């Protein structure tokens, strides 16, 4: 595998974020989703760039993007995006 792979849950998270923000501002939703995808693409080249989150799950790392947090795991040839969640949520209970 090479690049960035999104779990089904991460894909759903991104869609939920987009729909929620688009209710008030479609342009803002588009800009935020672009920032999230761009951050995930940067992780492909630097998979250890984010913070280690072993207290939540083994091999899990996180990278903030505005008020959201991308949770991912380094894998051979890139990263697997596990979840994208708002930083104010109860993250440990979700994992």
Mean pLDDT of 43-51: 92
Reported confidence tier of residue 2, pLDDT bands at 50, 70, 90: low
Provide the pLDDT for residue 1: 43
Mean pLDDT of 37-57: 94
Reported confidence tier of residue 13, pLDDT bands at 50, 70, 90: very high
pTM: 0.92
- Give the three-state DSSP class for 18: helix
Gap between the Cα atoms of 43 and 9, Å rounded = 18
- Give the three-state DSSP class for 60: coil
By CB atoms closer than 10 A (0-12, 13-18, 19+), residue 85 is: buried
| Residue 44 predicted with pLDDT over 70 | yes
CB 74 within 8 A of CB 54: no
Mean pLDDT score of the chain: 94
At the second CATH level, the architecture of 3-94 is: 2-Layer Sandwich (3.30)
């Amino acid at each position: 595998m090479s690049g960035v792979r999104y779990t089904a849950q991460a894909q759903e998270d991104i869609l939920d974020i987009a729909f929620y923000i688009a209710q008030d501002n479609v342009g803002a939703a588009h800009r935020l989703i672009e920032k999230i995808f761009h951050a995930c693409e940067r992780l492909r080249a630097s998979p250890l760039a984010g913070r280690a989150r072993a207290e939540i799950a083994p091999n899990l790392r996180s990278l903030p993007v505005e008020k959201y947090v991308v949770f991912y795991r380094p894998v051979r040839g890139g990263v697997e995006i596990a979840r994208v969640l708002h930083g104010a949520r109860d993250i440990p209970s979700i994992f």
